[in-house]
Chains A and B, each alone.
Chain A
């Protein structure tokens, strides 16, 4: 009952003209970014953060804009998967498997509308999951002291590389690199400058927005420059969509698939280190095992389109749960969303639900609204987005680069930050070549200060006794999960990753 009341308040917050407009803008931009190969949810959101920031939007409106982009990108990714056999973003990789064969059979319109419905179902169920699960998690998180929080952060880093990275040493390297960067600047507790080498610009630390935009958006530009596959996409393809309503029979057939995949995707999203790509991957694999009796998966089976789409949209909603309730994001895009909250001086976690219920519930209500907007945009109006695919990357990528520069310059107005961003862009390119995941770096720069503060608080409270870090059953439990979460993938990941990578994409793409 309480929840419904809060939700009603949330709708009250979300249903203002400004917020509805932002949700509409966000869903539109998001679908477009998702559809365009080379722009995914994480770099899409990253580019828009500085904008939301410099436009002086408040916390709720910015979050509404950016999560609408996130949900939208999850919808949009399927469009190019189905029509061009090129995933628009990483989570849409699995949709190629059955979506493109369907399009070749002349069922492109059916595939698009069916996957639109599947996306809707996934996102809808996940948003309800968010409503039910997040408050429970918050109650649990209220038991946490500084030592437990420190352990929780350690858990987040240990599991983040997890299933999505083949090499745990490299994800540990990335996490430490991020944490190391967060140390730069004046120490918050004693006021001494650390690792600034006398550079005044570094005294208040590196701006994580600069790091995010550099690593995610600029590195993509360099990847394109390296391959110069400027005209590879879009041009030369004749895209005919046909009818854009799915036959009723097809929807009925795929309903159980959608429901199962949504649940599975949601769970995958909540787990740390998984995210939407994994959500769509396991949904597809499970569906294939369960219902593929005639071996039709991979040849244009509608269920093979519905499963990954419901899965990745549900995972997107699921990934918001730990981000909002604990302040620990489990995927790339939620890490970027955390950056937004932190720049707006809002600390996610249990206190967010107590101190800023309007932000949380306004956001949740906006997600419902955005989801309906997306359904409308992605079925009757999908034609608009198929035209967007005609923009070749050789024109798109410079725009991405320039918008990144504009955003960062808009925040700080300093050339120094632009130079740092270019530095991060080059670093991002190099690390992606070496298959080092970028998300732990971002998470490290974001959480480093909080993590250190919790460590120091815990030890100070216990008068310098470090054993306090493992002083409660809860802390011990978290450390155990962290250690298991770090070690287990050493055995499992080779298998999962190898199968995920059967579908091209050798660039170690940014995970969602």
Chain B
């Protein structure tokens, strides 16, 4: 069943891709092939591959339980928040929070997670910023 859904989604993607390609404004100065041909070929093969997946599906993979799925979703949300807040609060604080969260969710005790998170953050900061001189996001406090 998963593959049938996947194939159907792929087919929609191919159609959308083909439609989006046709929306490309062609320039008056174009080469013999033009900017549309290659993406159109891609859309066609993408569609065919999706059709085959739809019609001849593989056995279903083992999907995680709803709880685990929520877990992954939560991690994605945390990562998005991390990306958004990184320039605002600075590298050290954002990274400490994010890695403490991930460590905690992967099965470390809460208190230990905080320690590990802070240590990870400081460790990366020391290695990458102080030793290697990489530019990391610096927040209002300069770190």
Binding site for B on A (CB under 8 A): 51, 54-55, 166-167, 169-170, 172-173, 176-177, 179-180, 183, 187, 189-195, 197, 218, 221-222, 224-228, 230-231, 393-395, 397-399, 401-403, 405-406, 409-410, 413, 415, 418-419, 422, 425-426, 429, 433-435, 451-452, 455-456, 459-460, 463-464, 506
Contacts and interface: CB of A to CB of B under 8 A. Distances in A.
A230 B108 contact: yes
A374 B35 CA distance: 48
Contact of A177 (B46, B56, B62, B134): B46
Binding site secondary structure of chain A? helix
Given A167-B53, A433-B2, 16 more contacts: A166-B58, A177-B46, A180-B46, A189-B35, A190-B34, A226-B64, A228-B71, A394-B106, A397-B102, A398-B116, A409-B137, A425-B76, A455-B37, A456-B31, A459-B32, A506-B62
Given A225-B106, A395-B116, A176 B42 contact: yes
B141 interface: no
23 contacts: A51-B128, A170-B58, A173-B10, A173-B53, A176-B42, A176-B49, A179-B42, A180-B39, A183-B39, A183-B42, A192-B24, A194-B21, A197-B20, A221-B75, A228-B68, A230-B106, A395-B108, A398-B116, A401-B102, A406-B91, A422-B83, A433-B61, A434-B3
Closest 4 CB pairs of A and B: A230-B107, A418-B83, A394-B106, A464-B32
Interface in B77-126: 79-80, 82-84, 86-87, 91, 95, 98-99, 102-103, 105-108, 116-117, 120-121, 124
B130 interface: no
A97 to B, nearest CB: 25
B33 A406 contact: no
Contacts of B38: 183, 451-452, 455-456
B21 A195 contact: yes
B21 A405 contact: no
Contact of A398 (B31, B53, B91, B106): B106
A453 to B, nearest CB: 10
Contacts of A393: 106
B121 to A, nearest CB: 8
Interface string B51-65: 011001010011110
Contacts of A406: 91, 95, 124, 128, 134, 136
A227 B10 CA distance: 27
B66 interface: no
A190 B72 contact: no
A224 B91 CA distance: 24
Interface in B16-51: 17, 20-21, 24-27, 29-35, 37-39, 42-43, 45-46, 48-50
Contacts of A169: 49-50, 52-53, 56
A165 to B, nearest CB: 11
Contacts of B30: 190
Given A225-B72, A394-B103, A406-B124, A419 B134 contact: no
Q: Sort chain B's interface into a size bin.
A: 35 or more
A460 B21 contact: no
Given A399-B120, A415-B83, A460-B32, A170 B106 contact: no
Contacts of B29: 190
Nearest to A170: B53
Contacts of A51: 128, 132, 134
A452 B42 CA distance: 11
Contacts of A225: 68, 71-72, 75, 102, 105-106
Contacts of A222: 72, 75
A167 B7 CA distance: 13
A493 B9 CA distance: 26
B108 A394 contact: yes
A224 B83 contact: no
Contact of A415 (B17, B84, B106, B124): B84
Contact of B98 (A183, A402, A426): A402
A505 B142 CA distance: 45
Contacts of B132: 51, 55
A228 B86 CA distance: 26
A203 to B, nearest CB: 14
B3 A456 contact: no
Contacts of B108: 230, 394-395
B103 A395 contact: yes
A440 to B, nearest CB: 11
A429 B79 contact: no
Nearest to B82: A405
B27 A410 contact: no
A172 B72 contact: no
Contact of A397 (B21, B39, B106): B106
Given A194-B24, A226-B72, A401 B99 contact: yes
B76 to A, nearest CB: 6
Contact of B72 (A403, A413, A429): A429
